[in-house]
Structure 1
Amino acid sequence: MSTTREGEEHNRESQEVRLQRVESSNIAGIEMMLSKLVDSLAHNQRQMLEAQAQSQQHLLESLTTNFNKGLEEVLKHQNKALANPTGEKKVKADEKKQKTAENAVVPYVVEEYTNLFSAAYWGYWDEAKEYFKTHPDSVTKKITSDLETALHVAVKFKEWDFVEEIVKFLSVDDLEAKEKSGFTALHMAAAHGNIKAAESMVKKNRKLIMLRDNDGNIPLETAISNVSDGQDKTVKYLYIVTLKNYPSLFTGPQGAKLLCCTIEAGYFDVAISIVERFPDLAMEKIEKRDLYALESVVCRPFSFFSGTKLPWWQRFIYLFIRVNLRSPYDNLDLEEDKENPLENLESTLRAEEEENHLESSEGPIIRDEDSHLESYQVPIRDEENPLDSSGGQIVDEENPLDGSHGQIGNEEDENDETDKLSFVSTESKKGLIKFISERIMPSYLARVPLVKRLYNKKLMHKQAVVLVKKMLEQIDDKTTTVAEVIEFLNKTSVVNMAIKNGITEFIKECLDIFPFVISHDLRGESMIQIAIAERNEEILNLILDAGEDQRDDLVCKVDESGNSILHYVAKIAPSYHLNTISGAALQMQQETQWYKGIESMVHPFLKHTRNVNGDTAQFVFTEEHKKLVATGEKWMKETSGSCMVVATLIATVAFAAAFTLPGGNISQLESPKNGFPVFLRKNTFAMFALADAVALFSSITSVIMFLAIMTSRYSEEDFLISLPQKLILGLANLFLSMASILVAFGAALFLALRDRYAWTPIPIAIFGLISMFLFALEEFPLFFQMVRVTYWPRVLKSKNRRSNSSDKQTRLTIKQNSIKQKAKKDN
């Protein structure tokens, strides 16, 4: 037993020793791990401290460097300011050109010319001058990837003081350097509209005027194409010096291109001056664009009054505006001061500015100059198509009414298209115009922005008409036979485009100068056929008035396919014309009015004539308008259905209100007034009863009209009078029923609340008027349009022009026209 106990004690001791050994070894391992961890943390901390110290040192060095550079710049600017006692300081702090990374894209700069580029970019002429002394060859070197010289860079970033100095420093040939797009420095200065920079370059080298860029544009074209505020003087200057020194630039296809550029930019006074001095350009063609100058005018319908869509109240103001058509290019003496035209031009501009300032300080001046259409006005920008300063045109509206831009006054030209705006007699109209133009317009309205914009429009319209007249007169002088005129008009297609764009002024001038045009075909169609196909009533009436002596020949005109003018009106109108009319039903109504109007104008025999396909005009009309009739039927039914729902609800409410009277009835069996309304003797109750009855009867009438529309046969004839008349009556009764039911509701509510709230009529009236105003605002435009078109149609509203010739004469005329068409086709 003792031996066993000793063995157990020995084992226990050995286990304790082993445990102690394990514990000691674990503690040693943990201590070693902790030691390594501490060493690692200390190493990382040392690295972080070293990196932080290095970054702080780098930041401090960077701040110091930037501060030193900024201090040098400030001292440099101060030295420049001290060296400039005249006060013309170059303040770079405000950076008027806003040269930042957002709006000034700096091209790649050749590395060795970085300092020169920086000097030209910021306008530091002293630094650039020192650089030129040490590097003489750098004056004409291309310092950017766009092949720009220091002069190009300065002009590009509008450092005009730098430009003036470097122009003095450069030689004559150095100014002719071109950049990547072929621009000389003069091209760039013209694009920016700086007259001083352009003048300094031209004075040193006049050859710059005729140098062209890669697109073939001279500096004058660049200035015209990049119009901006205040650039009129630059265009005027470049035009006059180009005209005096290189008049050959205004001839040939390049001259025609310059003329078209001038017209498209809206400088009509410059275009008029060019046409007067170079009449051959009226018939010159631009080869690359396949365009004539006359076509560029006709392609801009908004340059004419007939092509400008103005609201009636703006048209009324337009009537009283007088424009001054004087031009700085009138009586320009090109031989005067031939050796040095710039000084003479500078004095002329200065005198003109003084005159403008004097006139503007005295207010608008009334002048009577409409009878003198040979004098023109200063440039006017195109308001319909404004472009930005980088490549377009902007209307100068800051001071359009001063002496240089004319004045506002009375309009007494009886031939003016705006005379149709007046609804009074001629004598009273003249008196009213005179009073407004002489008393009100100059004193109160001359500075109104709207009046200024309308003035600019009217000035543009007048100048466009004068330009067209001049060009047509030049064509008349250059042609000797009728065939030559017709050939030119066929090549240009100006008459076709003018009728299509609705330019009445052009057609009037064309017929005044070439009255024989109405009897000739232009690209296979006569003028009357084109006017009918384009649905232009004003031009159609103008043609018929001009050809009154040959009316039978005009209305019996047939084309190569045997189509008469009745066949032309039977074809559906162009989509752009139909889209100006609201609703398919009204579109069909106007189409029917046109057909009936032309049908009443031609001889009855023509109604049954057939074309080469064997179709009569009525058959063509039916086939062409099938889709429009279906669309008009759908529109009529949907409109009538929607309105019928509203009318039915109003009728239901009005009927129920008649048996639920406000206040109730007297319920005294023994009283003789038993069953009488409580408020029977009140005036407000009478108003309620009357309004409720009107609402009921008008809503029922409206429902009847809409039912008649729903059950109509929807033939072509129905769209002329029947359907529109029913819709007009239905809408009128619906509006009356809505107004009446609101009045009845207001009267009933007032009867119920008058003893407690005496002010109830005020909010009731206000909310009722608001509801009626919203309904009128949405529905009345369509309603008034339907009334006007149905009862006072504008289509062929002129006097009846029905042919008085007999059937035999009509047949003979048609036969002769057919023979002519066949002969032309054979030739």
Structure 2
Amino acid sequence: MASTTTVTCNAIVPELLNPHNYKHWSSRVRTYLVAKDLWDVVKGKHPTPDAEVENKAWMKKNAEALHAINISCGTEMFSLISEIDTAMEAWEVLEKVFKLRPRSEIEEKERHERDTTIDAGQARDQGTCNTSCLPKFADLAKMAAPTTPASYQPYANANPGENNANNFHDRYIPFFRYVEDGDWDNAKECLLGLGSDADNALRAKNSYQNTALHVAAIYRHVHIVKELVQLMTPEDLEIIGELGATPLVALTRNCKVEGDSIEMAKYMIEKNNRLVWIPVTFSNMIPVVEACGWSKWELGRYLYSVTPTEALTPQNGPSGTELLRLCFVRLKMLHIAWDLLQRCPILAINAPMLALAETRTAFLSGTRLTCWQKWIYNLMSFFRRILKGLLKLLGINTIYELKLIHLQIIKFVHWMGQVASSQNNPHEYWLVKSMFAATKEGHVEFVIHIIEGHKEFIHMHDETNSTIFHFAVECRQEKIYSLIYGVEKEKRRHIGLAGNQSNKSMLFNACHLSPLSRLNHIQGASLQIQRELQWFKEVETMVPSEIHNLRDNVNNLTARELFTLNHKNLMVEAERSMKETATSCTVVGALIVTIMFAVAFTVPGGNNGDTGLPVFIDKKLFMVFIVSDTISLISSTTSVIIFLGILISRYAENDFLKSLPTKMMIGLFTLFLGIVAMMVTFSCALIIMLHGKYSWIILLSILVASVPVSSFVWMQFPLLIETFISTYGPGIFDRKVKPWYYS
């Protein structure tokens, strides 16, 4: 059995010679021989026998060159030249064996002598060739190196006895190499030269266990795939190759141009439509699933269109379930998912439902959008109608596509919930597992549709004996928590709050630091600690007061003490972050105060020498200038005072709930107002000085002046709004949400 490529730390080549790397190998060895001044013995002539000194030097260089070639060959390759004494002969043998290209003059002469039945010109016109057109590969090797072992088979098959694929002889190597290179003309002549053995060559496997059709599909040679499919029988197309795949699956993994892959797939399936049924040996997945798994979406669509429904039913393996899961996880093939659910509703249960519940971007509630993106998302229908052409230019089109996906997903979940309810066996395990997975990701929409059909799931427990209510607290999913909270107080206790042990467990869950996935989307450590405090106080009000003083079994601490311990580092980071923000804003505010104070006494146009009053005091625009300067001075001064107050404030836990966030909001708002008023002051002064002339300069200056304002709004306004909503808004816990549970 032939071995595969051997990698070594050889100083000459990084990879020993094998049937697939001759081109790179020869280039590296040649470069080495040239560098060592040994190339002349490989391509030069032997010195005359009477030149003793030159002869000894040549023999030494020949030995060095031959040694370099020998140690650069793998075991099988070395067997070709093991009994050759000169570097020149060794190089020629390897060149003839592994660098077969269009026929040499010697081959043409031999063909002319043997071809007695077909005129050479006619053969070229018709593209045909007598079976003796090419010398057998074994004959070439024999002519080049008479000592070549007869048992040498670099493409030997590892699985003998399957479809004659084990009969790989060295004479098939040129055919396979031409197929790999995309040279069908020479590959075809090789087949004709094999005569009756051509069929075996089509079914034979190389050292990678691939047939010629596998090789053509892998290297994306569409024209060769077409020719080979015509020459092969339908059964030949079912030969299993590398990694247990048919040629159809091979092109799903390797073809980068999907148009080519679809064209090749059509050739194969038209010849043998059973190929869409044959799964990969190792994964047990049929071709359409493999295509989607390798993100070949266009090919996947085509294969799905020609794959019978029966091949995707649970009775015939896991392919249908996996295909539906891929469609949900990748969100690229929702139309296939919907069609597949219509054709085989039973697939809606089990793994696909769990996969959909765990897909983060499948629902708006689990998608991390910025403040501006959420605003655009919610008004997308309006923007789509009015600014259709501008959407793509601004990159908003992707948000619109996301909204369409979410609408489709909601339709899926509602339909899947109905299917689950209609089944005799509702697959309770998978439904509950999916609901807990959706709760972890915050997919409110998914949980709602499951609960609508299975209200009893509110009381179900997961592997850790937690209900959905407890799990929502543990995962910090306030929307799901609020939905369950909508039940009347006595009903809530029935959901899972009854019993001191249950209450204690939920309270101490609220003491732990939130998962990073929930904290990372909150801007700033100060808002993060505020959210943590809100959660703790919310749960603290839910449980009886006697639970507050209970101690945990590990640290012997109360809930409040444990909360302080677990959030110590976050508190330090929140204090540092808030002080750094206050310091930076203080510098900006002080700069504005200085400028606006100076502007008040250096008015445009100067003062009247007789009265001392400003020259433009009677102009309305001058009054706008004075008012805006005053507003900017006062507001920026206020912001400096507020930020200085933040720097010297107390940083206790409860201060992060309202006191510190309120100061930060006032400081940011007054600073923003000061910047806006300063830009208005600048614009008014410019217009007054130019007396209405050079309007293009005025317009350009005003546009440039709006840049600082726009920058502040873009970077800091979302933080200001988020802080306000979190501190004084309805809060993260919506008490007015419609309840789910009634009994």
TM bracket, shorter-chain basis: 0.5 to 0.7
Question: Compared with structure 1, are the counterparts of its residues 247 and 629 closer, same or farther at alpha carbon in structure 2 (3 Å cutoff)?
Answer: closer
Question: Compared with structure 1, are the counterparts of its residues 548 and 225 closer, same or farther at alpha carbon in structure 2 (3 Å cutoff)?
Answer: farther
Tell me the distance in 1 between the aligned counterparts of 2:700 and 2:213.
Answer: 73
Question: 679, 683, 708: which is aligned to 1:771?
Answer: 708
Q: What aligned pairs does 1:446-461 form with structure 2 within 5 A after superposition?
A: 457-458=402-403, 460-461=405-406
Pairing 1:498–2:438 present: yes
Q: Do the aligned partners of 1:117 and 1:143 also contact (CA within 8 Å) in 2? A: no
Q: Do the aligned partners of 1:558 and 1:565 also contact (CA within 8 Å) in 2? A: no
Q: Do the aligned partners of 1:685 and 1:751 also contact (CA within 8 Å) in 2? A: yes
Tell me the distance in 1 between the aligned counterparts of 2:737 and 2:301.
Answer: 54
Q: Do the aligned partners of 2:628 and 2:678 also contact (CA within 8 Å) in 1? A: yes
Please state how far the C-alpha of 1:142 moved relative to its aligned partner: 3.1
Root-mean-square deviation (CA, aligned residues, Å) is 4.8
Amino acid at match of 2:509: Y
Q: What corresponds to 1:790 in structure 2? A: 727
Q: Do the aligned partners of 2:203 and 2:236 also contact (CA within 8 Å) in 1? A: no
Q: Secondary structure of 1:563's match?
A: helix
Q: What corresponds to 1:364 in structure 2? A: none
Amino acid at match of 1:628: L
Q: What aligned pairs does 1:314-325 form with structure 2 within 5 A after superposition?
A: none
Please state how far the C-alpha of 1:583 moved relative to its aligned partner: 1.4
- More displaced, 128-137 or 637-646? 128-137
Please state how far the C-alpha of 1:507 moved relative to its aligned partner: 0.9
The C-alpha deviation readout for 1:765-813, integer Å capped at 9, x for no partner, is 34433333334333333223323333324411332999xxxxxxxxxxx
Question: 675, 683, 699: which is aligned to 1:738?
Answer: 675
Question: Compared with structure 1, are the counterparts of its residues 127 and 739 closer, same or farther at alpha carbon in structure 2 (3 Å cutoff)?
Answer: same
Question: 445, 454, 457: which is aligned to 1:514?
Answer: 454
Question: Compared with structure 1, are the counterparts of its residues 131 and 451 closer, same or farther at alpha carbon in structure 2 (3 Å cutoff)?
Answer: farther
Q: What corresponds to 1:101 in structure 2? A: none
Question: Compared with structure 1, are the counterparts of its residues 164 and 790 closer, same or farther at alpha carbon in structure 2 (3 Å cutoff)?
Answer: same
Q: Secondary structure of 2:298's match?
A: coil
Please state how far the C-alpha of 1:452 moved relative to its aligned partner: 7.3
Please state how far the C-alpha of 1:233 moved relative to its aligned partner: 4.3
Tell me the distance in 1 between the aligned counterparts of 2:477 and 2:661.
Answer: 23
Q: What aligned pairs does 1:289-308 form with structure 2 within 5 A after superposition?
A: 292-308=351-367
Q: What aligned pairs does 1:38-437 form with structure 2 within 5 A after superposition?
A: 79=125, 112-117=171-176, 120=179, 121-124=182-185, 127=189, 130-131=192-193, 133-142=195-204, 144-189=206-251, 191=253, 192=255, 194=261, 197-198=264-265, 201-202=268-269, 205=272, 208=275, 209-228=277-296, 230-240=298-308, 243-244=309-310, 250-251=315-316, 256=321, 260=325, 263-264=328-329, 266=331, 267-268=333-334, 270-271=336-337, 292-310=351-369, 421=378
Question: Compared with structure 1, are the counterparts of its residues 781 and 612 closer, same or farther at alpha carbon in structure 2 (3 Å cutoff)?
Answer: closer
TM score, norm. by length of structure 2: 0.64
Please state how far the C-alpha of 1:511 moved relative to its aligned partner: 1.0
Q: What corresponds to 1:632 in structure 2? A: 574
Tell me the distance in 1 between the aligned counterparts of 2:360 and 2:693.
Answer: 65
Question: Compared with structure 1, are the counterparts of its residues 774 and 559 closer, same or farther at alpha carbon in structure 2 (3 Å cutoff)?
Answer: same
Question: Compared with structure 1, are the counterparts of its residues 757 and 452 closer, same or farther at alpha carbon in structure 2 (3 Å cutoff)?
Answer: closer
Q: Among all aligned residue pairs of Structure 1 and Structure 2, give the percentage whose two residues are the same amino acid.
A: 29
Please state how far the C-alpha of 1:477 moved relative to its aligned partner: 6.0
TM score, norm. by length of structure 1: 0.59
Amino acid at match of 2:628: A
Tell me the distance in 2 between the aligned counterparts of 1:746 and 1:650.
Answer: 16
Q: What aligned pairs does 1:709-724 form with structure 2 within 5 A after superposition?
A: 709-724=646-661
The C-alpha deviation readout for 1:489-537, integer Å capped at 9, x for no partner, is 67xx433321111122221122122211212321221111211232222
Tell me the distance in 1 between the aligned counterparts of 2:434 and 2:174.
Answer: 57
Please state how far the C-alpha of 1:608 moved relative to its aligned partner: 3.4
Q: What aligned pairs does 1:601-640 form with structure 2 within 5 A after superposition?
A: 602=542, 605=545, 608=548, 610=550, 612-613=552-553, 615-640=557-582
Q: What corresponds to 2:527 in structure 1? A: 586
Question: Compared with structure 1, are the counterparts of its residues 780 and 263 closer, same or farther at alpha carbon in structure 2 (3 Å cutoff)?
Answer: closer
Tell me the distance in 2 between the aligned counterparts of 1:755 and 1:315.
Answer: 42
Q: Secondary structure of 1:581's match?
A: coil
Pairing 1:644–2:590 present: no
- Equivalenced residues, count: 578
Amino acid at match of 2:278: M
Question: Compared with structure 1, are the counterparts of its residues 150 and 76 closer, same or farther at alpha carbon in structure 2 (3 Å cutoff)?
Answer: farther
Question: Compared with structure 1, are the counterparts of its residues 591 and 317 closer, same or farther at alpha carbon in structure 2 (3 Å cutoff)?
Answer: closer
Q: Secondary structure of 1:713's match?
A: coil
The C-alpha deviation readout for 1:313-333, integer Å capped at 9, x for no partner, is 776776xxxxxxxxxxxxxxx
Question: 462, 467, 471: which is aligned to 1:526?
Answer: 467
Tell me the distance in 2 between the aligned counterparts of 1:680 and 1:620.
Answer: 66
Question: Compared with structure 1, are the counterparts of its residues 662 and 564 closer, same or farther at alpha carbon in structure 2 (3 Å cutoff)?
Answer: same
Pairing 1:696–2:638 present: no
Tell me the distance in 1 between the aligned counterparts of 2:184 and 2:629.
Answer: 83
Q: Secondary structure of 2:510's match?
A: helix
Tell me the distance in 1 between the aligned counterparts of 2:312 and 2:636.
Answer: 77
Q: Secondary structure of 2:242's match?
A: coil
Amino acid at match of 2:440: K
Report which of the two structures shows the higher radius of gyration computed on alpha carbons.
1
Q: Do the aligned partners of 1:123 and 1:159 also contact (CA within 8 Å) in 2? A: no
Please state how far the C-alpha of 1:229 moved relative to its aligned partner: 5.4
| Relative contact order, higher structure (CA 8 A, sep 6+) | 1
Tell me the distance in 1 between the aligned counterparts of 2:585 and 2:396.
Answer: 42
Q: What corresponds to 1:655 in structure 2? A: 597
Instruction: Provide structure 2 residue ranges, at least 5 long, that are not aligned to the other structure.
Output: 1-100, 109-120, 129-154, 157-167
Tell me the distance in 1 between the aligned counterparts of 2:617 and 2:312.
Answer: 94
Instruction: Provide structure 1 residue ranges, at least 5 long, that are not aligned to the other structure.
Output: 1-61, 70-74, 83-106, 285-291, 319-420, 424-431, 803-827
Q: Do the aligned partners of 1:750 and 1:760 also contact (CA within 8 Å) in 2? A: no
Q: Do the aligned partners of 1:224 and 1:235 also contact (CA within 8 Å) in 2? A: no
Q: Do the aligned partners of 1:303 and 1:461 also contact (CA within 8 Å) in 2? A: yes
Question: Compared with structure 1, are the counterparts of its residues 76 and 596 closer, same or farther at alpha carbon in structure 2 (3 Å cutoff)?
Answer: farther
Tell me the distance in 1 between the aligned counterparts of 2:615 and 2:356.
Answer: 77
Tell me the distance in 2 between the aligned counterparts of 1:186 and 1:630.
Answer: 59
Tell me the distance in 2 between the aligned counterparts of 1:195 and 1:759.
Answer: 58
The C-alpha deviation readout for 1:370-398, integer Å capped at 9, x for no partner, is xxxxxxxxxxxxxxxxxxxxxxxxxxxxx
